[in-house]
């Protein structure tokens, strides 16, 4: 008799459909593609399956995407060595009144601002990085290396909360990481 309420409760929860966001596809890092051009290591990457971020941007909430590429050296019996990293910050905001997207990208030295009216053109520009000049191979020791990519998403809007409650909210909403296949520099095989 005591099991009957538990069985009814379990049956009710089984009948309630899951919210649509429970089946959402999580974003994924495409790449990284690595090319050595004029002795420079050039990294290209993008994010796919960004439907959740797309909904947030189209609602008018500003987003900041941070692409970090780290060059790591592989050691056999020792932890991998961090060599160098570069960050690219991309900021996007949708203006509902003008029906246009304002986007900017910063790499620490340069800043580029653009305005878009078409979401698909903006999507290609904001969710991809085509040329991160990571390092010159002449300055690296011979060895095996790989690239670690980290992509983080932050909201540009601050919620009106009181005092210490702000510290309970995560600053980073999404964080993805992916490593490339190892590649050799200065080793003759």
| Three-class DSSP category at 125 | helix
% of the chain with per-residue pLDDT over 90: 23
* pLDDT above 50 (res 182): yes
Confidence at 54, pLDDT banded by 50, 70, 90 = confident
End-to-end CA, the chain: 74
Q: Find the angle CA(122)-CA(103)-CA(112) to the nearest 5 degrees.
A: 110
Closest CA to 60 of 92, 93, 11: 93
Token pair listed for 166: 């702000």
Residue 71: how many CB atoms within 10 A of its CB?
A: 22
* pLDDT above 60 (res 53): yes
Confidence at 163, pLDDT banded by 50, 70, 90 = very low
Mean pLDDT for the stretch of residues 56-72: 87
Confidence at 12, pLDDT banded by 50, 70, 90 = low
Instruction: Determine whether 161 is exposed, middle or buried from the number of CB atoms within 10 Å of its CB (0-12, 13-18, 19+).
Output: exposed
Mean pLDDT for the stretch of residues 107-118: 89
Window from 54-63, 161-170, 178-187 with minimum mean pLDDT: 161-170
Supply the mean pLDDT for the chain.
Answer: 80
Per domain, the residue ranges of the chain are 21-156+163-171
Closest CA to 131 of 37, 66, 63: 37
More confident position, 47 or 31: 47
Window from 38-42, 44-48, 168-172, 182-186 with minimum mean pLDDT: 168-172
Q: What is the pTM of this model?
A: 0.77
Mean pLDDT for the stretch of residues 173-187: 85
Instruction: Determine whether 148 is exposed, middle or buried from the number of CB atoms within 10 Å of its CB (0-12, 13-18, 19+).
Output: middle
* pLDDT above 60 (res 74): yes
Instruction: Please tell me the predicted confidence (pLDDT) of residue 15.
Output: 55
């Amino acid at each position: 008799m005591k099991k009957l309420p538990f069985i009814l409760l379990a049956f009710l929860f089984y009948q309630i459909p899951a919210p649509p966001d429970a089946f959402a596809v999580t974003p994924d890092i495409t790449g990284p593609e690595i090319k050595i051009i004029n002795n420079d290591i050039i990294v290209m990457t993008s994010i796919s399956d960004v439907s959740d971020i797309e909904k947030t941007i189209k609602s008018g909430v500003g987003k900041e995407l941070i692409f970090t590429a780290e060059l790591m050296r592989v050691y056999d019996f020792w932890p991998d060595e961090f060599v160098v990293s570069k960050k690219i910050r991309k900021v996007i905001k949708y203006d509902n009144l003008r029906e246009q997207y304002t986007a900017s990208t910063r790499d620490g030295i340069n800043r580029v601002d653009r305005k878009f009216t078409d979401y698909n053109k903006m999507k290609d520009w904001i969710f991809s990085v085509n040329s991160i000049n990571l390092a010159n191979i002449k300055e690296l020791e011979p060895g095996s290396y790989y690239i670690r990519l980290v992509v983080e998403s932050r909201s540009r809007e601050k919620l009106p909360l009181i005092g210490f409650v702000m510290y309970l909210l995560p600053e980073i909403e999404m964080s993805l990481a992916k490593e490339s296949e190892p590649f050799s520099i200065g080793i003759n095989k």
